[in-house]
Amino acid sequence: MKKLINVFLLSFLTFNGCDVLDDLEECNDLTEAYNTSSTAFSNSPSRATCEQLADDLLPLIENDCQLNLSGSGYEDWTVADVDSFKTEACPLFDL
């Protein structure tokens, strides 16, 4: 019985460990996309780069990757904040 429990725990930890690594990898990929659009927006602010920034910021928030936004000022933003930013602030760059 003890060996059965060990086998079960090993399987459980292996599969859950993979999920954690997959989530970390996904957050890193999303962060890379955000960093690219953030740099583009900083270097050339426009409606297009603003909307791309919002589009890349949203998945980070939706996938609980806010720790990757630490120090950016966006770490406490919600989906509603990003939507508002995209619909209200980005169009101002057309003026």
pLDDT tens profile 39-94: 999 999 999 999 999 999 999 999 999 999 999 999 999 999 999 999 999 999 98
Question: Quick check: is 75 in a domain?
Answer: yes
Q: Is the dihedral of CA 41, 54, 59, 73 positive or negative?
A: positive
Question: Quick check: is 13 in a domain?
Answer: no
Question: Quick check: is 14 in a domain?
Answer: no
Question: Quick check: is 85 in a domain?
Answer: yes
In the chain, the number of structural domains is: 1
Give me the domain span that covers residue 78. Answer: 23-94
Tokens of 73: 């000022």
CA–CA gap between residue 40 and residue 34 (Å, rounded): 10
- Chain-centroid distance of CA 69 in Å reads 8
CA angle 42, 47, 48 (to 5 degrees): 85
pTM as predicted: 0.75
Question: Quick check: is 16 in a domain?
Answer: no
Question: Quick check: is 27 in a domain?
Answer: yes
